[in-house]
Structure 1
Amino acid sequence: MFSRFVFILSVSFLFSCQHENTSQTAVPDNRVLTNADGDYIQLPDALKFLSDWKKENNLTVQWMQEPDNLHPCNGRTLSRAIVFTLIHRSLLSIDPMTRKLKADLVKEIPVSHDGLTYRFELKDEPAFDDGAQLTVDDVIFSFKAYTCPLVNVSGRSALNNLLNIVKDNSNARAFTVTMKKVLAQNLFILTDFPILEKKFYDADDALKNYPVNWVNVEDQPGMNKTFPTAWAAAFNDGKYGNDPALINGLGAYKVKSWERGQTLTLEMKKNHWTEKLSAEILNQFYPKQINFKIITDENAILLAARNQEFDASFWLPSKVLLELHKDSSFTKNYNSCYTASYDFSYIGFNLKPQESKRTDFFSDLNVRKAFAMLTPVDLMIQNLFSDKALRMSGIVSPLKKDIFNDDLKSYSFNIDEAKKLLSDAGWKDLDGDKILDKIINGKKTDLKVELIFPLGPSVIQDMALMLKDVYAKAGIDLQPQVLDPNALGGKMVSHDFDLFMSGLSSSSAPSDYTGTWSTAAWLNHENNFTGFGSAASDALIDSINVTLDEAKRAQLEKAFQKMVYDNYPIIPLYFNVKKIVVHKRWVNAIVCFDKPYILFGQLELLNEKKQPE
């Protein structure tokens, strides 16, 4: 599960407001579109199917990085989240076009009279691949699996407030979810966890006598007193995230094949249960097959676009799309635009290196400030991203205008001031080798710092090399190391790094910062990789979670943003701008500011749609 930051609206407004959607037809210029341009972007439909366009109803999507895995619980990558929108379904979901909460597998969003209990009723139509109708037992099993302490779950802390799920005595399709506290994000946590088939993942009913809330299992009457170690070991097995035959979900697509490092292919399911629902756009699916194809080399992307080898992408390098805009054949065949997003890229410090026995470079605030001052973010955006990225000052996207703290200014680039801060922190060139050093625990230690970053587009490697050159001017020997997503994630989770460069996929949905910034998230090896946090920051996170008043919560949000800003646990880089392209042989191309950015399943082949007369 990816971190979801807070979208400030009162709970009652979110569930009752009648909102008229607004859209904007993308303009053919290089401006970055935001939610001020509309709730979503509607790319213009072509009026004629050209003779050299492919007629196959198979959609090919270019991307830069494949998922770490497709296990229902323990993956972390953005590409995994995109695939999950097509192969899984949840009780509730975020409508990507409006960024509002909507019912998905349940009939409606319930109204809670106490903010703690919510009664749901499942839709009758949802069914798994074997034809079995979705049941309440599947729902209860799913959340038992997600909350089981033996299961490797990324972002388990999001479910800390879940107390119980109980079947309804009078309606076999109904159940009640009970929360521990009244929190603004109580219902939104249900959007992040796909509902799984109990029979598929727990055929022996191993979790039958365990509670949804696993805390103090030993003290609960009628419950097993020992944990289901054998079941958990089997469920954690990587085969459930890598073998297409064992990737099972309620979505309209299934994984047909996966050639690691090349192509991940999804196939539309025949007679899928969504066909029985009303003609809501998000329940209509058109491409028979969706091929996610890895193309990372910029020249290869240019060639593939000119040869019409892919149909859609939100991951193009900026200079590639700018170059393609000069090509009349590209503009004849593709629509394109630039859109802001909630996702950001950053460099993280290891503030607590003792656990992984790393050198303590960054516990000193002055050292972190110095590294921030040495990071030429504006130059990166200008030279490497052709100004198609938004400079980042804090951890909240300016798309969230109600809570965005615009008092925070971007860290300034100043090599001389950085050198002074490093000197004040005790880092000197004692041996004249042009690398700063310091006596740590009685031993001379060079300021040789490893930076780990993901294998992917060349621009990321270019960023690392730029950092190496600039940092060297201050006497820092930066040692970049590129890793595949699984290896990178393993090092980040185990806190085995000096510096890492990565991204965080945020969202418009309400949430808390627990899984990313709390001290518990570091201790539990969740998404707090840096080790940031204190009793004061944890208390502020808790206050944000329990505050429902919109204005008060916004002030707390801004205070937390400043707390992170002042402590320098990360070097904020930029909010990602999505470079969107969709081939004109597809109509109904809807671009969103939230995941999945392009509604891939809703793209319809032009020659299969009634042509205008």
Structure 2
Amino acid sequence: MKLSSQNQSWLFLLLFIAVSCGSDADSGSQQAALVFKQTSNTVFARFPAEPDRLNPILATSAYARAINEQIFQNLLHFDPYTLELRPQLAAARPVVREVADGKYAGGVGYTFNIREEAVWDDGSPITAEDVAFTMKAIFNPLVNAAHVRAYMEFVSGFETDPSNPRAFTVYTNEKYIIGEPVVSNISVLPKAVYDPSGLLDDIPFSELADAEKASRLAKESKALQAFAEAFNSAPYSREKDFISGSGPYRFVRWETGQELVLEKKEGWWGESIAPNDPLLSAYPQNLSFKIIPDQVASMAALKDEQVDVVSQIDAKDFTDLQANEEMTRRFSLQTPPSMVYYYVGLNNKNPKLADKRVRRAIAHLLDVDELINTLYYGLAQRTVGPFHPTKPYYHDELPLIAYNPEKARALLAEAGWEDTNGNGIVDKVINGMPTELALEYMISAGSKFANNMALIFQDNARKAGVEITIAPKEFTVLTDHAKRRDYDMYAGAWGQDPVVDDPKQLWHSESDTPSGGNRVSFNNAEADRLIDEIRETLDEEKRNALYLKFQELIYEEQPYIFLFAPLERIAISKRFEAKTSARRPGFFVNDFKQKNIQ
């Protein structure tokens, strides 16, 4: 099978790349005529859901990550506009060398130097000791960071440079397709704040990097247990005195369900280094993240200029804004590409959904083309698998799953589901009990699109004898249910980074844990084998062939219903110079520069 050319996908991206990287430009005369309600150098950003934690190691939501990136910093990070992996805390990208002998033979060494200017809030230097502590925290098996550890299990050693406290080397026991991004794209925490008693000091990193030894330590080490209990606790994720990073902003307050506020630090170390570098810029004095789940309320807040930037705007609302002359005078409306795809998650452990024929039947009950055209106004591209359509190994030769209630009913009958009592709902005896195919579908309560889509889904499902009950929930509640596998189906979205994909976090059986990313409990030995092989195959052509096989398997097993990759819909107040990005949430508030509007 040939690797697909991706012409349509790349055209989809290129049509909008100019928009995504361009700032909003307006004539001086037009701007002079505008008077804005907000005049302070504060960016008011609407978020559709509460962040889960202000702790970059524990947090799992995209909303938390967007806020954490203002407080904490990584060794390297992805430039929001070029998507290039570039230095942030590190002085440069690491020196990478293959290790030929010694205890790390066969692996790779990544040697970093931290910027000399980089300091914590108390003025003390950021050192290799802080990085080593952060790595220990991540690898502590009692810390709720399985979603991070899934990517880092190939890391085997950490050595500081005895002649330079800012230099260190991270060693891996094997080559890994995304080795450099993984070892460098982690947020560094101040040891003095997060482990003030030195609980992890006497525990070698090598012990934690060995899964067997780490498991034993988790049972035996009181220090490891005490650290995890404190680190996992609410104060280190919500309380001002327990949250500290090297970034330009500090945490001020969090009013649950209302607002989360950050303020710029005086004399922040990075301000004078590279003022035009988006990874080190910090133009606004304050950042206010307004929690507004409801789409109608968010549009009211935008029109009243209570917020300066809104993303994930309902497609109909966005087209209405484009037709509103006054709103286009005051806001830049942009549609950058988004490294996200939408899906319906299916609980593969649920006895009703354990048969892949049932999962495929339900996939035939979603008219995705209708969703895109009538609810998304064409601002999306259909997807067929677990990788974004712009990735060069996306398998566009797999046929899109058509809306077909008759095919769905036939598949259900093949799997033993028939309407035996004539009530319109198919049923089957499971574990000795007559069971109807009645499913609860969890959606985000504040999403107009999710609610409208659910109604269409519900109506279509009835045609094949499937009863769907819509369960609107707040985003954090929905996420909690998904983590506990306490659901039948849920509406989800997955954001991807601009690197080659490691499917382990979402699809490997080892990630089917409460803090792991395999929230549909997909367990397949062949998928695990392919994932393990993909992770260690450095040859791009061979790896791409494995990606294709993996997508074919996922297509056959139908653990998700894959929907589409949307274009982002963003409104940004013209009182700021600002760019949009393909990285979620589509904008970076630290890089909003207030205009001098008279």
TM-score with structure 1 setting the length: 0.88
Q: Which secondary structure does the structure 1 equivalent of 2:89 belong to?
A: coil
Unaligned runs of at least 5 residues, structure 1: 1-30, 354-359
**CA shift for structure 1 position 113:** 2.3
Are residues 1:472 and 2:462 paired? yes
In 2, are the aligned partners of 1:450 and 1:479 still within 8 Å (CA)?
A: yes
Question: 2: CA distance between counterparts of 1:337 and 1:463?
Answer: 24
**Matched-pair contact (CA < 8 Å) for 2:240–2:253:** yes
Q: Are 2:70 and 2:247, in contact at CA under 8 Å, matched by a contact in 1?
A: yes
Matched, 1:103 2:87: yes
Letter in 2 for 1:248: S
Residues 563-608 of structure 1 deviation map (CA, whole Å, 9 limit, x = unaligned):
2112101100111321021111111x22111234213211111118
Q: Does the alignment pair 1:42 with 2:22?
A: yes
CA distance in 2, matches of 1:394, 1:414: 19
Select the residue among 111, 122, 130 that pairs with 2:122: 130
For the pair 1:281 / 2:277, whether they are aligned, the reply is yes
Q: Give the counterpart of 1:522 among 512, 529, 542.
A: 512
- Separation in 2 of the partners of 1:263 and 1:132? 31
Residue type of the alignment partner of 1:112: V
- Worse overlay, 235-244 or 290-299: 290-299
The higher-RCO structure (CA 8 Å, 6+ apart) is 1
Counterpart CA distance in 1 for 2:317 and 2:216 is 62
- Structure 1 position 188 matched with structure 2 position 181: yes
* Map of 2:592 onto structure 1: 603
Question: SS of the counterpart of 1:582?
Answer: strand
Deviation at 1:220, TM superposition (A): 12
CA distance in 2, matches of 1:221, 1:569: 34
Shift in alpha-carbon separation, 1:505–1:550, aligned structure 2, 3 A: same
Establish whether residue 385 from structure 1 lines up as the match of residue 376 from structure 2: yes
Deviates more, 1:435-444 or 1:599-608: 599-608
Deviation sequence 1:322-380 (CA, Å, 0-9, x none) = 11111111111111121221111111111123xxxxxx011212111100001121222
1:513-561: CA deviations, max 9, x gaps?
1111111111565111122232221121122111212222222222212
- Report SS of the residue matched to 2:205: coil
Matched, 1:167 2:160: yes
- Deviation, 1:217, is 6.9
Q: 255-264 vs 296-305, which deviates more?
A: 296-305
Range with bigger deviation, 271-280 or 513-522? 271-280
Q: Distance in 2 between matches of 1:222 and 1:454?
A: 40
Alignment of 1:326-337 (within 5 A): 326-337=323-334
Amino acid at match of 1:143: M
Count, aligned residues: 571
Identity among equivalent positions (%) equals: 29
- 2:303 pairs with 288, 303, 306, which one? 306
Shift in Å, 1:305: 2.8
CA distance in 2, matches of 1:219, 1:154: 13
What is the Cα deviation at residue 111 of structure 1? 2.8
More displaced stretch, 228-237 vs 48-57: 48-57
2:417 and 2:426 in contact (8 A); partners too: yes
TM-score, reference length from structure 2: 0.90
1:394 corresponds in structure 2 to 385
CA contact (8 A) 2:55 2:68 kept: no
CA distance in 1, matches of 2:510, 2:211: 18
Structure 1 residue 221, shift from structure 2 partner: 13
Distance (whole Å) between structure 2 residues aligned to residue 172 and residue 62 of structure 1: 41
Is 1:317 aligned to residue 317 of structure 2?
A: no
Q: Do the aligned partners of residues 231 and 312 (structure 1) sit closer, same or farther apart at CA in structure 2, a change above 3 Å counting?
A: same
2:262 pairs with 1:262: no
Q: CA deviation at 1:218?
A: 5.0
> After alignment, is 99-108 or 486-495 more displaced?
486-495
For 1:367, the equivalent position in structure 2 comes to: 358
Is residue 76–residue 87 contact of structure 2 (8 Å, CA) maintained in 1? yes
Superposition map of 1:174-573 within 5 A: 174-213=167-206, 214=208, 215=210, 218=213, 226=221, 228-282=224-278, 283-353=280-350, 360-400=351-391, 402-523=392-513, 525-573=515-563
Tell me how far apart the structure 2 counterparts of residues 222 and 234 of structure 1 sit (CA, whole Å).
17
Secondary structure, counterpart of 2:338 in structure 1: strand
User: Shift in Å at residue 35 of structure 1?
Assistant: 7.4
Runs of 4+ off more than 6 Å: 219-224
Question: 235-244 vs 48-57, which deviates more?
Answer: 48-57
Q: Which residue identity does 1:546 align to in structure 2? A: E
Q: Deviations over 1:190-248 (max 9, x none)?
A: 34421101110111100011132412675999999625212211111022222233221
Classify 1:460/1:223 alpha carbon distance in 2 versus 1 (closer, same or farther; 3 Å): closer
Task: Name the CA shift for 1:265/1:368 in 2 (closer, same or farther; >3 Å).
Answer: same
8 Å contact kept, 2:43–2:286: yes
Match of 1:120 among 94, 112, 117: 112
Alpha carbons 2:332, 2:572 under 8 Å: kept: yes
Paired residues of 1:61 and 1:310 also in contact (CA < 8 A): yes
| DSSP 3-state at the match of 1:231 | helix
Residues 504 and 219 of structure 1: is their aligned pair in 2 closer, same or farther, counting only changes over 3 Å?
closer
Q: Is 1:71 aligned with 2:69?
A: no
Provide the rounded CA distance (Å) in 1 between the counterparts of 2:61 and 2:132.
26
User: Contact 2:383–2:565 at 8 Å: present in 1 too?
Assistant: yes
Q: What per-residue deviation string (whole Å, max 9, x for no partner) do you get for residues 283-311 of structure 1?
A: 22111111111334444333333332221
1: CA distance between counterparts of 2:501 and 2:381?
23
Q: Identify the match of residue 35 of structure 2 among 52, 55, 60.
A: 52
Instruction: Decide whether aligned partners of structure 1 residues 319 and 221 sit closer, same or farther in structure 2, where only a CA change above 3 A counts.
Output: closer
Q: CA 1:211 to 1:146, structure 2 compared with 1: closer, same or farther past 3 Å?
A: same
SS at match of 2:547: helix
Larger mean Cα displacement after TM superposition, 244-253 or 169-178: 244-253
Residue type of the alignment partner of 2:587: I
Shift of 1:107: 1.2
CA distance in 2, matches of 1:250, 1:440: 55
Instruction: Call closer, same or farther: CA 1:503–1:333 in 2, change over 3 Å.
Output: same
Between 1:308-317 and 1:264-273, the stretch displaced more is 308-317
The residue identity in structure 2 corresponding to 1:132 is S
Distance (Å, rounded) in 1 between the aligned partners of 2:407 and 2:568 = 34
Gaps of 5+ in 2: 1-10, 99-106
> Whole-Å Cα distance in 2 between the matches of residues 541 and 208 of structure 1?
35
